[in-house]
Amino acid sequence: MSSTSHEPEDPTPASAGTPVLEGPGLAALRGPAVEQLLRLRAQRRLSRGHVRLAGECLGVSERTVWRWLAQAEAEDDPATAPTPGTRPGDRFEVTADIRVLLAYWHGNASAVHRQLAARARQATGQPSTHLPGGAPTDAVPVLDPLPSLSTFLRAVRRDLTAGERAALAHGPEAARAHDVFARRPRLWRNHTWETDHVQAPLLVDADGDLVRPWVTWFIDTTTKTITGTAVTPGYPSRASILAALRAAVLRTDPYGPAGGVPEHVRVDRGKDFLSKTVLGALGALGTGVEDLPAYSPHLKGTVENLNRCADRMLFAALPGYTPTATPRRSRKKTSPDTSPPLTFEEFTTDVLHWARWWNTEHRPASLAGRTPIEAWNADPTPLSDVAESALWGLMLEDDGRLRKLTSHGVRWRGRDYIAAWMAGQAGRSVRIRHMPHHNHEIEVCDPTGRHLGTAHLADAATPEQLDALRRTRTTRARRLRKDAKKAEAQRRQRYAPATTPTPPQRLGAVTAAEADQELHAAAHDDLATLALPDLIPPAPPPADWNTPASLRFTLAQHPRTGEKKR
């Protein structure tokens, strides 16, 4: 296209393709710019320099501006003309039926387009085959015209959000990564704590056994201060939570200075966090428990971020660290870590030192350059403390019944517990409080709750006996696993591979003698088949029994055979 004016071209900048104006409102200037160019053309003043300058300002080529001018002149009514640069209204869009097909193919848009193409060929009478594994033919719409693959993919990206595409491909939970969440308002210290367990991805030496330790901690959401930490060799329990809670509430040495009684605690749906013992301890402190929905780690993001930071800042530098999730593309062959594992004491020391470093030296971005303990000390909110003597009883589980002190001590769970302070107090009523799973000792109180003393297990096994018992149990468990593995290998059924559609063919021929021998051995091992319930018939019930009508029979018996007459 050439200009209708014969005036000399105006000087314009030599750079092209770089817009002079920037911002999201640049597209809104296209209409006024085209109108001004049309006005210049009507006045026979339009030059190529005007068009080039408009293209540079709008960030498009000179050819695009000439095309906009041609489209605007082709419209009968300039007031109803579409905005320059917009696509026509008859473009392809993703419909509800195509959304169903995308869900059927789990977000595979190319497979959906292949099935749409096959359905279009079938509708026009062209030879077409059913796509293997595709949706039923009735569920596939007929598109006329059928868009190209690039147009179809572009429409899917345009009409479906990133969250919808992720949900189609990986399930509804994957859409959460593309959602937008509002920040919780910044409150005051001890308003809300969050708690969780995190497993360290490494092995530590715990009394000769290699175990994966767990860390349980409480963190204040406002100041990002770790208030309490407990380390457990092996799986944690409610005892781990109570120990961490006690360390979080107390502010005396070796704990503190952060601590006190929180107003709320956020927990997930773990059974140990919602146990009667933990809920009772928090209820006695006057702390509300906020039970979060399942599979919602984003609702307790403070402690989840602490878990990730511990993995990257602490666990990754310890011997024997194994990443929990490594991308397949970035996975590299590394030499195995041959350094000896840490002992449980060393690992606990490292965790506690790191928690102290987090509170006193680490500066999270949300605290504006302050450390968590500085943010804690700068908060003037009064703290609610609990005396250590009173907190001691809240962190123990109550037995729930009164017991008697006998000459053998106090009986609990079929065992006797004794202590020197029990001398001369036989016959006294007492109550038992204990830490969950700590059955080697108990705390004895009077009926009013006053602590009397600690009692230890009588006739406790020696360390040598415990080691021998542990080895015996390990050997037995290893033998049982080996037997179960052999049984699973015998039960596994193998089939011959097929290259044509044929019925499955079982493999593994067995002779008739081998089958009879195995069945005979199994029949003698099954106690249910060895039982003979009809060998000795049961005696008739007494006449004064209230027998159901369906089972009632006369007590008269045959004088010789003893058969019952119905």
The mean pLDDT of 265-274, rounded to a whole number, is 88
Task: Calculate the average pLDDT of the chain.
Answer: 82
Secondary structure class of 384 (helix, strand, coil): coil
pLDDT at 10 (0 to 100): 45
CA gap 391, 394 in Å, rounded: 5
Q: Which residue has the higher pLDDT, 9 or 48?
A: 48
pLDDT at 201 (0 to 100): 93
Secondary structure class of 554 (helix, strand, coil): coil
Query: How would residue 333 be classed by pLDDT, with cut points 50, 70 and 90?
Result: low
Query: How would residue 310 be classed by pLDDT, with cut points 50, 70 and 90?
Result: very high
- For the chain, percent of residues with pLDDT exceeding 90: 28
Question: What is 2-62 written as a DSSP string?
Answer: --S--SPPPP--S--S--SS-SGGGGGGHHHHHHHHHHHHHTT---HHHHHHHHHHHTS-H
The mean pLDDT of 178-196, rounded to a whole number, is 88
The mean pLDDT of 242-270, rounded to a whole number, is 89
pLDDT at 21 (0 to 100): 54
CA gap 110, 101 in Å, rounded: 11
pLDDT tens, residue by residue, 377-396: 999 999 998 888 778 777 78
Question: Can you give 170-190 as a three-state secondary structure string?
Answer: HCHHHHHHHCCCCCCCCCCCC
Residue 247 has pLDDT above 80, yes or no: yes
Strongest mean pLDDT among 364-378, 389-403, 412-426: 364-378
The mean pLDDT of 163-177, rounded to a whole number, is 89
H/E element, 411: strand 410-412
The pTM is what?
Answer: 0.65
**356-365, 377-386, 462-471, range with the lowest pLDDT:** 462-471
Secondary structure class of 508 (helix, strand, coil): coil
Query: How would residue 192 be classed by pLDDT, with cut points 50, 70 and 90?
Result: very high
pLDDT tens, residue by residue, 5-42: 444 444 444 444 455 555 556 777 888 888 888 889 88
The mean pLDDT of 183-192, rounded to a whole number, is 89
Spatial contact of 453 and 432, defined as CB atoms under 8 Å apart = no
The mean pLDDT of 548-555, rounded to a whole number, is 62
pLDDT at 6 (0 to 100): 42
**41-55, 147-161, 444-458, range with the lowest pLDDT:** 444-458
Secondary structure class of 156 (helix, strand, coil): helix
The mean pLDDT of 421-427, rounded to a whole number, is 86
Which CATH number applies to 192-323+340-378? 3.30.420.10
Domain ranges in the chain are: 1-86, 96-178, 192-323+340-378, 397-457
The mean pLDDT of 113-121, rounded to a whole number, is 89
Residues 6+ apart with CB under 8 A from 302: 194, 219, 221, 224
Residue 561 has pLDDT above 50, yes or no: no
pLDDT at 325 (0 to 100): 57
pLDDT at 553 (0 to 100): 54
Question: What is 305-364 written as a DSSP string?
Answer: HHHHHHHHHTGGGSTT---S---STT--------SPPEEHHHHHHHHHHHHHHHHHT---
Helix, strand, coil percentages, rounded to 5, for the chain: 40, 15, 45
Token code pair at residue 387: 């005396």
Task: Count other C-beta atoms under 10 Å from residue 176's C-beta.
Answer: 15
Peptide bond into 262 cis (omega under 30): no
pLDDT tens, residue by residue, 57-78: 888 889 988 988 888 888 766 6
Residue 285 is which amino acid? Answer: L
* Alpha carbon distances (Å) from 224 to 44, 94, 113: 70, 46, 50
